[in-house]
Structure formats: structure tokens, C-alpha cells
Structure 1
Amino acid sequence: MRVVIAVGGNAMTAPDGSARPQDQQAAIEVAVEPIAELICAGHQVVLTHGNGPQVGNLLVKNELAASVVPPVPLDWCGAQTQATIGLLILNALGRALAARGSAVPVAAVVSRTEVAADDGAFSAPSKPIGRYLSEAEAAVMIGHGQHWQDRGERGWRRVVASPEPLRCLDVPAVLALLAAGFAVVCSGGGGIPVVADGTPGGYRGVEAVIDKDLTAALLAGALAAERLVIATDVKHVVLGWGTDSASELSGIGVSDLESLVTGGTFASGSMEPKVIAACRFVRRSGQPAAITSLDAIAGALAGVAGTIVHPDPFSRT
């Protein structure tokens, strides 16, 4: 099958959240093992990934150097982290495939995601990113045109737009690589956010972050993927998380899952975007999607592990 796998940025850091270069390299070497197994089983794999911790590191460097050099904009941060994480995945996945006797080549594509210049998120930035600063430190960044909010005792925090992804612009390159037999890494961090600049074929980067799971659903649809797998740190979506009545969700129809989202069942900053992304893919493609842990993705493709979101009709299990 052609499969799009979305891996969270936190899967590329140490268990305690450390994001030193050696921590990221070690984590990625572990993360690619089940992906290599899928490729060796004959699946055509496109891998996308988060980049929150990695962009966070760049933001700290921006803040520390802001009085000396201008901060690097978020679209540049996205491009830099796509390339860095892509390099680590290329090296690690290449070794993992070779160890299994596979000659499948791997490529990384620095990828753009188009958003609308008039998306309402730009007029009311609300997505918090980065660390907390003092009022004086935040004032320096505000002087560079950034939006910061006073969050009380914890200090000031930057907020940015998180617009809706409209189109993965570099899908033709991904399709060409797939046709040539490559496994492909692309659209990391939701893609580099760009808007049309009014010139033929022209785009410009914007200060925004795009939800990587929503972009993964868009990418999977554009590639005519037969499965979308959203890899997270739990094997199942859990209903009643943190309560005595918590229960794992094995299978559910897309309409039932959409009703749970509407009812506020899932946390907006964690599981909800994954669930919405899975629903969007199922609606657009008529194919199942899965939400599970990395070590269970093979079982998820076989329909025996994780939470599988099915086209309607389907009874919840």
C-alpha cells in the first residue's frame, strides 16, 4: 500500500524531552526501525514529522541573539528544521534498510504548504510557541514585530497564527520520487507556510505554524494514499482520558468520531488535531486511517492494532 506516516516531533527527542543533537539522532534511529520494516514488507512509504522541539531550540537562539542579529522568521525555521530532521532520518533509515538487505533509496523534500493570506488566524494570532520571557525580554522581540502576550506569573509568551493548510505545493516532486522507487520524507512540521504573492507561480513565506497532522491528512489525500497512520505516544485513542471510566477505542466510523469531536471529547492541544486529521482523510479518500504508537504501525495497517477510523457505516469497537 501507499502509506503516509505522521510522526510527532517529540518522538525525535530523548524520553525526558531533551533535544540535544545526540538525543535527536538516537531517538530517530529508534523511530525509523518500524518504518524500515514496512518498507521491507513492500509498502510505499511517505514520512512526515513534527518539529516543535527543534523549532523551539531555534527560537531560543533568536531570543538570545535578538539584540545583535535580526530573528530568523518562522518559515525559515521550518525550512531549517525540515532539512536537519530530514538529514537525520535519511541517515538512520538508510542504515536500517541496509541492515535488512533493502536497497530502497530515501529522499527528503523541503516542502511548502500554501495557506490563505486572508485566513482569520493572521488577524488574531493565538497559537503559543516557545518559552516564557520577562516583560523586558519580550519587549525586545515585540520590537522586531512579533506578537507576545502577558501570561501572568509565568511571564510573557509568543503567539502566532496557525492557519488552515490548503495545498501541499511540492506533491509533484514527491510523486516523481515515489515513481522512481524512493521512500520520501516531506512536509515536516506541517510544511513551510507560504501564501501566493500575486506573481505567476510566486509564493512568499509567512510567520505562522501549521498543524502537522492536518497537513498529513492533506498530503495523504493529494498522494492518493491508501492509509494515513498518525503515530503518537499511545497505542489507542482513549475515551474518558484520566478518569476511572477511561476506555481504549479500537475501531470507529468517521461520523461517530466526528460527533465525539463536536462534543468536546478530546483535548484541543493533543489528541483532537490527530482525530480531526484522521476524519478528514477518511472523508476525502474513503480509506481507513489509524492513530497508534510507532511500534504498532504494522498492526495498524493490518487493522489489528491501534485506533482505526473507518468509512461509514461502522460500529464502534
Structure 2
Amino acid sequence: MRLVIALGGNAMTSADGSARPEDQRAAIQSAMRSVADLVEAGHQIVLTHGNGPQVGNLLLKNEIAADVVPPVPLDWCVAQTQATIGRLILDALDDELARRGHPSRTAALVTRTIVDRDDPGFLVPTKPIGRYATAEEAAAMRGHGQHWVEVPQRGWRRVVASPEPREIPEVETVQTLLDNGSVVVCAGGGGIPTVREGTSYVGVEAVIDKDLTAALLADQVGADLLVIATDVDAAVVGFGTPQAEPLGAVGVSEIRRLAQAGAFGAGSMGPKVEAATRFAAHTGRTGVITSLPHIDDAVAGRTGTRVSPDSVPTDRLPA
């Protein structure tokens, strides 16, 4: 099968969320063992990934050095982290496949994602990024044109636009690499936020949801399955309550009803559910949400929240 696998932030950092270079390297090496299993099984694979901790580190460096060098814009930060994480994934996957005696062909592609200049998200930026800062620190960054809001009892935090992903210009290159037998790493962090101005491409200050971009990517490359790898085995209805129940196979209409009823967290599981649902609704194929160690079972249909067209019956996974 042709698989698009979206690796969550847990696959890029240590268990406690540390994002030191050695933590990232070790976490990615662990993640690539599961991916190597799928490569050995003969699947075509596209990998995409989060970059929140890495961009957060770059933003902090921007803030510390703002009086010395101008802060770099968010589209630059996304591009830098795509290249860094992509290189780490290639190294780790090549090493794992070599250890198994399996030939490898891998490629990382710096990837843009087109958004609309008139997307409503640009009018009122609401996506919080980076750390909490003091009023004085926020004022310095606002002097560079950034938007910051005060959060009671927490401090000031930067907010940016989070527009809808519309198109991935590099998709034909991804297709070519796949057809030539490569595992492709692309569209990291939701892709470099970009608008078209005439015949030109221009980066913009925004953060695109990585899971929604993964759904778009999976659609555009003709994936048979979208796998969203996170830190839980399945989406849970009623999370944190005595009625909590893992969700197994579910149709598009049912999971949309659950989402509208507030069954999933807006900032955590919500985007993953929406991404899997969009993919299933638009392609007629299946989107799966599961944990990284269970990707093999999810691909085989044995575990995870499996969102499919409405002809697939709903069930619940055993507790």
C-alpha cells in the first residue's frame, strides 16, 4: 500500500518533552524502527512530522537576540526545522534499514503549503506559539511587528494565523520519488506557509496544522491509508472521565457528530480527528489514529481509531 504517516511531536523528542539534539536523535531513531518494519513489508511510504518544540527553540533564540539581530520570520523557522528533522529521519531510517540488510532509498524535501491570503485566520490571529513572556519581553517583540496577547496569571504569549492548507506545490516531485522507490519525508510542520502573488510564491507569518496538511498530502499523493501517529493507541471519547472509551472503527458521520458534541480536545486530539475524517470523506479510504509502536497493527486494521466512509460499522475498542 501507499501510506502517509504523520509523526507526532512525541516521535521527535524524549518522553519528558526535552528537545535537546541528543533527545531528538534518540527519539527519531526509535520511531524509525516502526517505519523500517513497513518498508520491509513492501509499502510505499511518505513521512511527515511535527516541529513544535524545534520551532519553539528558534523563537526563543529570536527573542533573546532581538536586540542584536532581526528575528527571522515563521516561514524561515519552518523551513529550517524541515531540513533539520528531515536529515535526522533520513540518517536514522538509513541506519535501521542497513542494520537489517535491507536496501534503502530515502529523500527529504523542503515543502511549501499554499494558503489563501484572504483566509479568515489572518484577520484575527489566534494560534498560540512559543513560551510565555513578560510584558517587557513581549513589547520588544511587538516592536518587530509580532502579535502578542496577555494571558491572565501566565504572562504574554505570541499568537499567529493558522490558515487552512490548500495545496502542496511539490506533490509531483513527491510522486516521482515514490515511483522510484524512495521513502519521502516532506511537508514537516504543516509545510512552509506560502501564498501566491501573481506568478510568485511568498512566505507568510503563520502556522499550518500539521495533521490537516497530512490529510491534504495523503489525498494529493493518492495514499491508500493515512496514519496519524500520536502518543495514545486510539482517540478516546470522554477522555478523563469514568465513561472514557477508546474509539475503534467509525464512520465519517458518526465521528463528526462526536466532534461537534465536544468529544475531542480542540488543541490536541481534535485536529487529528478532523484530519482523519477529511481524508476518509474526500477519498473514500481510511484514516487511522494510533500510537507509534502500533503502526503495524493499525495498517493491518487491528487497532487504532479507524475513520472510514459511512458504510463501515462503528465499534469500540476493548478497554
Length-normalised TM-score, structure 1: 0.98
> Shift of residue 263 of structure 1?
1.5
Alignment correspondent of 1:32:
32
SS of the equivalent of 2:78 reads helix
Alignment correspondent of 1:218:
216
Matched-pair contact (CA < 8 Å) for 2:14–2:24: yes
- The one-letter code matched in structure 2 to 1:76 is W
SS of the equivalent of 2:153 reads helix
Q: Percent identity?
A: 60
Alignment correspondent of 1:71:
71
Count of residue correspondences: 315
- The one-letter code matched in structure 2 to 1:162 is S
Distance 1:28 1:280 in 2: 28
Point out 4+ residue stretches in structure 1 off by more than 4 angstroms.
none
SS of the equivalent of 2:164 reads coil
Picking from 211, 215, 233, the partner of 1:235 is: 233
> Shift of residue 69 of structure 1?
0.6
- The one-letter code matched in structure 1 to 2:131 is R
Alignment correspondent of 2:202:
204
Matched-pair contact (CA < 8 Å) for 2:55–2:78: yes
Q: Does 1:303 align with 2:301?
A: yes
Alignment correspondent of 2:99:
99
Distance 1:152 1:140 in 2: 20
Alignment correspondent of 2:141:
141
Picking from 233, 244, 247, the partner of 1:246 is: 244
Q: 1:67-123: CA deviations, max 9, x gaps?
A: 111101000000000000001000000011111221131100000000000001011
Matched-pair contact (CA < 8 Å) for 1:190–1:209: yes
Distance 1:228 1:220 in 2: 6
SS of the equivalent of 2:165 reads coil
Range with greater deviation from structure 2 (137-146 or 10-19) = 10-19
> Shift of residue 9 of structure 1?
2.2
Q: How does 1:100-179 map to 2 (within 5 A)?
A: 100-179=100-179
Alignment correspondent of 1:59:
59
Distance 1:7 1:284 in 2: 22
Alignment correspondent of 1:263:
261
Distance 1:312 1:83 in 2: 39
> Shift of residue 310 of structure 1?
1.6
> Shift of residue 4 of structure 1?
0.1
> Shift of residue 20 of structure 1?
0.4
Q: 1:35-76: CA deviations, max 9, x gaps?
A: 010011000000000000000000000000001111010000
Alignment correspondent of 2:290:
292
> Shift of residue 154 of structure 1?
1.3
Alignment correspondent of 1:86:
86
Distance 1:131 1:186 in 2: 26
Alignment correspondent of 2:270:
272
Distance 1:121 1:236 in 2: 29
Range with greater deviation from structure 2 (82-91 or 9-18) = 9-18
- The one-letter code matched in structure 2 to 1:275 is V
SS of the equivalent of 1:129 reads strand
Distance 1:87 1:313 in 2: 41
Alignment correspondent of 1:12:
12
Range with greater deviation from structure 2 (166-175 or 76-85) = 166-175
Over the aligned positions, Cα root-mean-square deviation in angstroms equals 0.7
> Shift of residue 314 of structure 1?
2.4
Matched-pair contact (CA < 8 Å) for 2:281–2:308: no
> Shift of residue 11 of structure 1?
1.9
Structure 1 residue runs without a partner (length 5+):
none
Distance 1:232 1:9 in 2: 8
Matched-pair contact (CA < 8 Å) for 1:253–1:311: yes
Distance 2:237 2:313 in 1: 16
- The one-letter code matched in structure 1 to 2:160 is V
